Chain A
Amino acid sequence: MNQSSDLPIAQNRSLSAAAWIVQEALDEMRLVLADPQKLRMGRQIREDVDDATRLQMLEAVEKLRIANDDMFRILHLKPDILSQAQVVKSRASHAWTVLENCRSSVLYSSALSPALAQRIVEHIDRLLLIVNELR
């Protein structure tokens, strides 16, 4: 695994993106398996893997990380370089879209009384105001 190969630009871009995705997935798996807290407001993670399997999985995740890093270095793949401003804008825009869609579905729902819809929209609007300041 120590040869040096140069991929054409299109394949390099495609494989670089695959390597970034692998890296992100490994981060998520490691967090899920190793984080003792396993709790966020939006999602609770149920422990359903025994200790021996957890250890085995964490070892495999580490092996995957090493293999992915090797592939990245040896095939001269390209790093994903962003600015904080790009990331903040992109994440805030995604949250804004989700909030706006939710606002519309509440406003046009026939299953909610206007008063109840208004109460929900007050909360959504408060979130939208803050998200807009991040964009």
Chain B
Amino acid sequence: MSEVTPDLVRHLASLARILVTEEEVQKLTGELSVIVDSVASVNKAVSGDVLPTSHPIPMSNVFREDVVLPSLTQAEALSAAPDSAEGRFKVPAILDEE
């Protein structure tokens, strides 16, 4: 049976930086339990030594010539930012005041 509890959902949501209401926690706990129970079957599929596949078409060391190409200007890069100042992205406080 699934180990998905409301506490785990709260913890995962905080790791994923998503604020969740208590109502959402309850709903997600139920939904994720069902999904996790269902996907847990992958354990049964694998026995013995099987190499994992992370990429469907194996490629390694993909290089290209190191040539200078046009890129975004500073103004372009900042054009969609919610806030900017002095040519930089502006963010709210990084540290708590306390």
User: Do A and B interact with each other, yes or no?
Assistant: no
Interface residues of A, Cβ cutoff 8 Å to B:
none
